[in-house]
Amino acid sequence: MQEFRPDPRARTRDLGLARLRRATRYSIFGATVLAGGFAGLAAHANPGHKAPAAAAAVPRRRPAKTTVRPAPAAPVQTTETETPTPAPPPPPAPVAPAPAPVTTSAPPVVTTGAT
C-alpha cells in the first residue's frame, strides 16, 4: 500500500488560500465597521437632517444666502471616523439632494403655480 504524502506545493497553496480567506474576512468586517461609522457621522454632519420638531412650529423667512451651497462635508475626511467603535445601525441610505433652482433674470418660458 502506498503511503499518502501530500505534495509540498499543494500544502503551500492551501496555506496561502487560508491566509487569503482570513484576510478577506477581516477586510469585510473592517469595511462594515468603517462604513457604519462613516454613515453614522454623515447622519450627524448635516444639521438639516436633524431639524428639531420645535422648528416646525416656527417657520420663518430664511436669511439671505448664496444660491449655491458648498457640498456637504465628506465625513470620510475626518479623523474621528477611524475610531473602531461598534458600528451603529446604518441610517437610511442618503439620498442625493435635488438640483436647486437659481435666480434668473431671463424671461420665463412657463409659470409654475397651483392648478
How is residue 48 annotated by DSSP?
A: G
Considering only 51, 77, 80, 89, the residue that binds other proteins (CB under 8 A) is 51
The reply on whether position 57 binds other proteins by CB under 8 A is: yes
The reply on whether position 49 binds other proteins by CB under 8 A is: yes
Site for other proteins in 64-83 (CB under 8 A): 64-65, 67-69
In the complex with other proteins, which residue's Cβ is closer, 72 or 88?
72
How many angstroms separate the first and last alpha carbons of the chain?
Answer: 92
Question: From the CB of 87, what's the least distance to other proteins, in Å?
Answer: 23
Question: From the CB of 72, what's the least distance to other proteins, in Å?
Answer: 9
Say how many C-beta atoms besides its own lie within 10 A of residue 101's C-beta: 7
Q: What Cα–Cα distance (Å) separates residue 29 from each residue in 72, 78, 85, 87, 112?
A: 27, 21, 12, 10, 50
Of 53, 12, 39, nearest in space to 93 by CA? 39
Question: From the CB of 91, what's the least distance to other proteins, in Å?
Answer: 12
C-alpha cell at position 111:
409659470
Residues in contact with other proteins by CB under 8 A are 48-53, 55-57, 59-62, 64-65, 67-69, 95-115
